[in-house]
Structure 1
Amino acid sequence: MSVRLDPRQLAAAREIVAAPELVPNAPRACTDRSFNLPTALHAGFFGLFLAYLGVMAIGFPHPEMVLPMAIFVIFTVAFYVVPMLWATMGPANESRAMSLGALFERGVETHTGLTSGGSAVAQVLVLPVLILLWGVAVVAIAALV
């Protein structure tokens, strides 16, 4: 729960702490590019968005929709392929992506606390599933009207 803090209490509680020796920013190699989720979740997310685009392309097969659908597919593929390439580029990654079994066994730490594996999968996949179902509903309504 959040509690409103009195600004006077905050000002009274402040302490002056000596700053450590300032060191200029040195370039560092990013060595953790695993995104902390199983590859299967990323693949499911990607597959559900491509399925939505497929439903829309099949549901609205007008010749003028070929170019917009091609652009949507190209951008969707790019949004997943570029991070995948970034995660696999050198220098070698010090950490590996979590396996699906490890996710269900240990869960994942979020800002609100530990979340079980099933809850994490539901949170990650709820938006693409709803978008896919929305696309199916739109195509069904368009077919019936």
Structure 2
Amino acid sequence: MSKMLTTEFVQEKAQIVKAPEAKNRVATNVDRDFGLPKTLYGATIACYLGFVAITASAFANPELIIPMVIIAGIIVAGFVVPGIWTQLKPETKSSNTVSYDRFNGGGIMTHTGPLKARDAATQVLILPVLVLFWGVAVVTIVALAS
């Protein structure tokens, strides 16, 4: 439950302490990366932008230009902003992204155990590829129906 605290009560109980010195700060080593190579992120964004391009070209309408540009911008921002986030200071071990060869050779460690590169790539790309195929299917159905 909440209750009203008077100024007198707060001044009586409050303690003023010095701010901690900068040299006493603990350096954090936060992993800001998912341990996946850039090629998987590139393939993901290519599939999503491919979906937007397919639907925009199939349903070409001047009224759809602004929504399609907004959707493409949101997709790009959804990958660029986290990409910038991984490069921020302080330097961390995630600042060096995993190469595709290293990923292909060692796979990735997940919460439930190690995962082969093929399986990890399948998990990462299944939704973007299905979205792309969905766009192709919708455009095909519309083309056959008209």
**Bin of the TM-score, shorter chain as denominator length:** 0.7 to 0.9
Any stretches of 5+ residues in structure 2 without a counterpart? 1-24
| CA–CA separation in structure 2 for the residues paired with 1:137 and 1:47 | 18
Give the aligned residue type for 2:47: L
* Aligned positions of 1:6-45 closer than 5 A: 29=28, 31-45=30-44
Using the alignment, how far apart are the partners of 2:26 and 2:61 within structure 1? 51
Provide Cα deviations, 1:26-69, integer angstroms capped at 9, x if missing partner. Answer: 77545422221111111111111111111111111011111110
Pairing of 1:1-145 with structure 2 (within 5 A): 29=28, 31-95=30-94, 96-145=96-145
TM, length-normalised to structure 1: 0.75
Conservation of the 8 A alpha-carbon contact between 2:29 and 2:93: no
Residues 112, 65 of structure 1: CA spacing in aligned structure 2 closer, same or farther, 3 A cutoff?
same
Query: Percent identity of the aligned residues?
Result: 38
Alpha-carbon displacement from aligned partner over 1:108-145 (angstroms, at most 9, x marks no partner):
12233221111111111011001000000000111111
Q: Is the CA contact (8 Å cut-off) linking 1:31 and 1:91 kept in structure 2? A: no
Structure 1 segments unaligned to the other structure (5+ residues): 1-25
Taking a change above 3 Å as real, the CA distance of residues 27 and 49 of structure 1, as seen in their structure-2 partners, is: farther
Q: Is the 8 A contact 2:108 2:116 kept in 1?
A: yes
Name the larger-Rg structure.
2
Distance verdict in 2 for CA 1:111–1:129, change over 3 Å:
same
Q: 1:61 to 1:27 in 2, by over 3 A?
A: farther
- Runs of 4+, deviation exceeding 3 Å: 26-31
Please state whether the residue corresponding to 2:93 is helix, strand or coil: coil
- Normalising to structure 2: TM-score of the pair? 0.75
Distance 1:53 1:117 in 2: 28
What is the aligned-residue RMSD (CA, Å)? 1.7
Once residues 31 and 116 of structure 2 are traced to their aligned partners in structure 1, the CA distance between those partners, rounded to angstroms, is: 23
Deviation of 1:97 (Å):
1.5
Structure 1: distance between partners of 2:52 and 2:26: 40
